[in-house]
Structure 1
């Protein structure tokens, strides 16, 4: 039963990945109508895994708490939108059901992709001198972080599959 709920959860995430990425790039927002139903599914999956394994999925619960606190602080400082906070939390809680390693890789990969995207936008729009001086142009425009989060999600899921599933044979 535990693996079935994981398939349902990641099936849902697969279904909303393209609409979320499109909305984030085009409108710079991650609609609640895509993100919030994922929380219903992830909490259902956590409950089923908890009952099935007789132990709480600590990586999912603790990882979600840590990420929501860190990203909320980032949102309060103007670095993220609240849609990014919710999506990052959903991603970490989902991957935390697989392993703490997958959740960590997803956030690390998202940070790397987002950093490269931000620097690229800064460098292309304002020139090398502006990039070296702190980048007021980037702060004024911002870079949507939902797409890097989604890249981190699927990159970590694929790496987890390669390392833990195919590596077990």
Structure 2
């Protein structure tokens, strides 16, 4: 059953990716491929758990935001701000359907506030290195990571900066950028969060959490 759920989710994800391409005017197989794979793996991760719709929504909006940030260097309010409402509604509904749901939802709220505050502080300390769109995205990602616990939340937060740093270093070594070259950070935030959702439990011990 879980395999069939993953296959169905993957097909839905690919369709969502095609829709994203049409909406943002990008002709690339990256969106349907990425969305299809992420949807399928999330279905394997959660099965028919009531939180699955929430994380599938996260995957859909994440693919769109990552492509837009890469192409246009922005994270539009039209996607980030409604994602707070959608995430709170979907996770809030799931909280009444799963064991310890209210505790998970409380952790989600704490994760949302915590990651938003961290990015807001970084923005005010170094506004040239952090966009306000990144701050708004941080709250959304923190919500979903917080539901899974402090370990996954920490892994997602750390991986974003680690992946961004590695990518920037590779560009510098290849002389395709300098240390002052602006790099869209949203895709690394999203990649870190998705990896933490999928593998946070296994990676958390390596960070001592």
TM over 0.5: yes
The answer to whether structure 1 residue 115 and structure 2 residue 165 are counterparts is yes
In the superposition, relative to structure 1, how do residues 121 and 28 fare at CA in structure 2: closer, same or farther (>3 Å)?
same
The alignment's C-alpha RMSD in Å is 2.5
Structure 1 residue runs of 4 or more that deviate by more than 4 Å after TM superposition: 49-52, 160-163
1:2-42: per-residue Cα shift (whole Å, max 9, x none)? x42x2221111121222211111111111112222210122
Q: Which residue of 2 aligns with 1:149?
A: 189
Task: Report how many residues are paired.
Answer: 151
What does 1:33-112 align with in structure 2 at a 5 Å threshold?
A: 33-49=78-94, 51=96, 53-55=101-103, 57-76=105-124, 77-78=126-127, 79-112=129-162
Answer 1 or 2: higher relative contact order, Cα 8 Å, separation at least 6.
1
In structure 2, stretches of 5+ residues that fail to align are 1-48, 204-209
The 8 Å contact of residues 9 and 38 in structure 1, kept in 2 or not, is answered as no
The 8 Å contact of residues 104 and 149 in structure 2, kept in 1 or not, is answered as no
1:107 and 1:23 mapped to 2: Cα distance?
21
The 8 Å contact of residues 156 and 200 in structure 2, kept in 1 or not, is answered as no
In structure 1, stretches of 5+ residues that fail to align are 128-136, 164-169
Q: Which residue of 1 aligns with 2:63?
A: 18
Comparing 48-57 and 82-91, the one that deviates more: 48-57
Deviation (angstroms), 1:155: 0.7
1:101 and 1:45 mapped to 2: Cα distance?
22
Greater helix share, structure number: 1
In the superposition, relative to structure 1, how do residues 162 and 123 fare at CA in structure 2: closer, same or farther (>3 Å)?
closer
